[in-house]
A and B are shown apart, each in its own frame.
Chain A
Amino acid sequence: MRVGLFVTCIANLMRPAVGFAALRLLQAAGCEVVVPPGQTCCGQPAYNSGDFETGRKIACKWAQDFAGCDYVVVPSGSCAGMIRVHYPRLFAESDMQGEAVRQLAARTWELTAFLVEVAGLSQPPGWYQGKITYHDSCSGLRELMVKTAPRTLLARMPGLVLEEMDGCETCCGFGGTFAVKFGEISSHLADNKCAAIHATGAQAVVAGDLGCLLHIEGRLRRLGDTTTQVLHVAEVLAGRQGEVAWK
């Protein structure tokens, strides 16, 4: 099973550990992983700003990058949703290039859903001691129905306790460019999220999307919380505490 890993541009730039954690998890599930070196971004910023033409161009590039993969796996619900749900919509039915995109998009998965439903990973390799709470990022949740997969995997980790927060399915206010254009509303939503996180008494908030996580972490720190950990679910499952030794 040849699995292409699409690292996503935010993880590539801001937190490579997420990419390595995803790699480790896929390998633990017995996949042959390839990382196309020319991969860039899924095109969401343009697409969500209404520039569909750029979206199309990037979709074609993406399909070339990952040609030959049995599956493409993405450690982000929103980028996976972009590819799986929105890429096919960018092309007319008769479009040949679109056909290649469509076929690959249909075999593209969000990481945790892939691990549970396709690869059947029975035991995540990492360990985590303590209480976490899980934020369901919007796109993964509503476009791809990723809800139980991360929880199933987390539940298989001894020592980890999951304490659900109020409104775990409520948007954290990130929304890509929304966070910049409507900064005040965005941070208001983040404050609601931070309060819900704090109310659980968890030592870490975990999610499947780095965009939301950077936003939540940025707000927590600005509000003076320097202790709550903010972790990508891949980092927890692969065992960030101590041993993703990649340097």
Chain B
Amino acid sequence: MEVKAVEFVRKAHEALHNPRLQEALRRTEAKFVQGRREALRHLEDPDAVRRHATAIRDTVLRQLDAWLIHFERQAQARGATVHWAEDGREVARILTDIARRHGVRKAVKSKSMVSEEVGLNAALEAAGVQVVETDLGEYILQLAEEPPSHIVAPVLHKTRDEIADLFARHHGRPRKTDTAALTREAREFLRPHFLSADMGISGANFLVAETGSVLIVTNEGNGRLATTLPRVHVAITGIEKVVPTLEDAATLLRLLPRSATGQDITNYVSLLTGTKQAGDADGPEHFHIILLDNGRSRLLGSELEPILRCIRCGACMNHCPVYQSVGGHAYGWVYPGPMGSILTPLLAGLERATPLPNASTLCGRCAEVCPVNIPLADLLRELRHVQQVRGLRPRLETLSLRLWRALVLRPRLYHAVMGMAAWLLTRLAGARGRLCRLPGAAGWFAHRDLPAPAGETFLAAWARRRGKP
């Protein structure tokens, strides 16, 4: 997927003026935020579970290599083949290789963010493989030729009416607007694909080292069909997704759906272990697991490592006031919201995502809800620091900060300048008591007035008062 994160401001502007999107965002915010709050109440001590989950993730990250090798051994022992991919190009090569070897003409896909990350569909289609998205949301986006706008609810930005139009156009059936009818129609179109596909592609919510299993959670059951019906199953996931034991996976599963959609548990939790064995009713004959690095291992041991704890629940975006205002497309890549503002620069390149680390008020609501306690605001600030060190901050900002720093560290000068500013601003505001514009401050005054100051700084007034008898 192309990285368009530098266009954040323009895309945010469009989003703010798109009434349908605004309506959709308001609705989902209400649903997800409230849903999470309710669902967490069903846990006896949610914060203890969150601490435990954090510890599990950290344990893995501290010795990621060892856990991955452990996982690989267990998966191999059960008949799976594990591939290691440095970047998206390698994933494409490995996957097209597999497809060619098994004579694959059609692949059905369950939802996978990593596949968006590496532009998998395009690569497969270039290799002559037809790709069908089977997650309802992803299917809709495939018809609309749009990227997802949310990692859990990819079509969050679309209204039912738009979807009805889309289906009518592509399916050639009478237009319907009822959700159940639309879902049924999609199902009718998707079912034959499951049966005729040679390959199923999925992501992984977790990789269980103990058993070599790939764990996926879905709400639609399409994941189970895609991973068990076709002859070949390929699971593609980031290397950070491994957890030590089934018990650990269970702990994380207590948080993932609750944080994501406000469900106590998702409709389907599939634990995919090895290939079809003699006596098994179903399952793939060939099971390949592609472990993607794509810049992740570079983060290990760095200040930014905690982002690798992420379990992709989406709670941070659901609760982020900026995401709630502009939606996911404004962020310009696969991962939106606070976690995306960290992941996009790290995985796709800081130069290609300069606005993102700054597109946050650092209000901290994201970290407050993150089930694995990722200090998202601190990481955003850390990225700003990296930008500063690498000279990627706006020139004007750097210049004015340098000027301001020179003042702050020289109190006498600072107070003289402040005194003048207080006097001047008050004069400019006049009887109205507020300023409506000021040269060089368009960013503020385009949207707001500024209440006038009192004419004298506190410290000057205080000194004067103390000087009096």
By a beta-carbon cutoff of 8 Å, the part of chain A in contact with chain B is 7, 9, 11-20, 35, 37-41, 43, 45-52, 54, 57-58, 61, 138-139, 142-143, 169-171, 173-190, 192, 214-215, 217-219, 221-222, 230, 246-247
Size range of the interface on B? 35 or more
Min distance, Cβ A195 to any Cβ of chain B, angstroms: 12
Q: A50 contacts B381, CB within 8 Å?
A: yes
B442-458 CB mask vs A (1 if < 8 Å, else 0) is 01101111110110111
Residue of A nearest to B462 (CB): A35
- The contact sample of 6 A-B pairs, CB cut-off 8 A, is A12-B458, A37-B459, A51-B385, A176-B361, A179-B444, A185-B322
* B421 CB-CB contact with A under 8 Å: yes
Q: Binding site of B, secondary structure by majority: helix, strand, loop or mixed?
A: helix
Min distance, Cβ A22 to any Cβ of chain B, angstroms: 10
Residues of A within 8 A of B404 (CB): 41, 45-46
Which residues of B411-469 are within 8 A (CB) of A? 411, 414-415, 418, 421-422, 434, 436, 441, 443-444, 446-451, 453-454, 456-459, 461-463, 465
Residue of B nearest to A43 (CB): B408
Q: Name the residue among A17, A38, A190 with the largest chain B CB count within 10 angstroms.
A: A38
Q: CA separation between A186 and B456, bound complex, in Å?
A: 29
Residue of A nearest to B26 (CB): A192
Q: Name the residue among A61, A185, A188, A221 with the largest chain B CB count within 10 angstroms.
A: A185
Residues of B within 8 A of A180 (CB): 441, 443-444
**Stretch of B9-17, B240-248, B274-282 lying at the A interface:** B9-17
Which residues of B375-391 are within 8 A (CB) of A? 381-389
Q: CA separation between A57 and B407, bound complex, in Å?
A: 12
Contact among A15, A47, A183 with B454 in the assembled complex (CB-CB below 8 Å): A15
Using A16-B456, A35-B459 as known contacts, say yes or no to A185 and B384 having CB atoms under 8 A apart: no
By a beta-carbon cutoff of 8 Å, the part of chain B in contact with chain A is 9, 12-13, 16, 321-322, 325-326, 358-365, 367-368, 381-389, 393, 397, 401, 404-405, 407-409, 411, 414-415, 418, 421-422, 434, 436, 441, 443-444, 446-451, 453-454, 456-459, 461-463, 465
Residues of A within 8 A of B456 (CB): 16
Q: How many A-B residue pairs have CB under 8 A?
A: 191
Residues of A within 8 A of B414 (CB): 40
Residues of B within 8 A of A18 (CB): 458
Q: A142 contacts B12, CB within 8 Å?
A: no
Contact among B360, B388, B418 with A9 in the assembled complex (CB-CB below 8 Å): B418
Min distance, Cβ B243 to any Cβ of chain A, angstroms: 29
Q: CA separation between A185 and B360, bound complex, in Å?
A: 10
Q: B448 contacts A215, CB within 8 Å?
A: yes
Q: CA separation between A204 and B384, bound complex, in Å?
A: 36
Using A180-B443, A214-B450 as known contacts, say yes or no to A138 and B16 having CB atoms under 8 A apart: no
Residue of B nearest to A189 (CB): B321
Q: B384 contacts A182, CB within 8 Å?
A: no
Residues of A within 8 A of B393 (CB): 49-50
Residues of B within 8 A of A246 (CB): 461, 465
Q: A13 contacts B422, CB within 8 Å?
A: yes
Q: B12 contacts A182, CB within 8 Å?
A: yes
Residues of A within 8 A of B461 (CB): 16, 20, 246-247
Contact among A16, A49, A215 with B458 in the assembled complex (CB-CB below 8 Å): A16
Residues of A within 8 A of B450 (CB): 214, 218
Using A38-B411, A175-B360 as known contacts, say yes or no to A186 and B418 having CB atoms under 8 A apart: no
Residues of B within 8 A of A13 (CB): 418, 421-422, 453, 457
Residues of A within 8 A of B415 (CB): 40
Q: A57 contacts B16, CB within 8 Å?
A: no
> Shortest 8 CB-CB distances between A and B: which pairs?
A175-B361, A50-B384, A218-B448, A180-B443, A187-B447, A16-B458, A171-B363, A19-B458
Using A9-B418, A143-B364 as known contacts, say yes or no to A221 and B409 having CB atoms under 8 A apart: no
Q: A54 contacts B458, CB within 8 Å?
A: no
Residues of A within 8 A of B447 (CB): 183-184, 186-187, 190, 219, 222
Residue of B nearest to A47 (CB): B381
Min distance, Cβ A178 to any Cβ of chain B, angstroms: 5
Q: B363 contacts A177, CB within 8 Å?
A: no
Q: B411 contacts A39, CB within 8 Å?
A: yes
Min distance, Cβ B13 to any Cβ of chain A, angstroms: 6
Q: B362 contacts A57, CB within 8 Å?
A: no
Q: CA separation between A124 and B441, bound complex, in Å?
A: 38
Residues of A within 8 A of B381 (CB): 47-48, 50
Q: CA separation between A217 and B422, bound complex, in Å?
A: 18
Using A40-B411, A189-B325 as known contacts, say yes or no to A174 and B361 having CB atoms under 8 A apart: yes
Q: CA separation between A67 and B60, bound complex, in Å?
A: 44
Min distance, Cβ A141 to any Cβ of chain B, angstroms: 8
Contact among B9, B12, B389, B448 with A219 in the assembled complex (CB-CB below 8 Å): B448
Q: B448 contacts A138, CB within 8 Å?
A: no
Residues of A within 8 A of B434 (CB): 218, 221
Q: B360 contacts A49, CB within 8 Å?
A: no
Q: B362 contacts A175, CB within 8 Å?
A: yes
Min distance, Cβ A62 to any Cβ of chain B, angstroms: 10
Q: B385 contacts A50, CB within 8 Å?
A: yes
Min distance, Cβ B408 to any Cβ of chain A, angstroms: 5
Q: CA separation between A173 and B405, bound complex, in Å?
A: 25
Residues of B within 8 A of A222 (CB): 436, 447-449
Using A180-B441, A183-B446, A221-B449 as known contacts, say yes or no to A49 and B384 having CB atoms under 8 A apart: yes
Q: A45 contacts B401, CB within 8 Å?
A: yes
Q: CA separation between A18 and B365, bound complex, in Å?
A: 27
Q: Name the residue among A43, A171, A217 with the largest chain B CB count within 10 angstroms.
A: A171
Q: A52 contacts B326, CB within 8 Å?
A: no
Using A180-B441, A218-B448, A219-B448 as known contacts, say yes or no to A185 and B16 having CB atoms under 8 A apart: yes
Q: A171 contacts B448, CB within 8 Å?
A: no
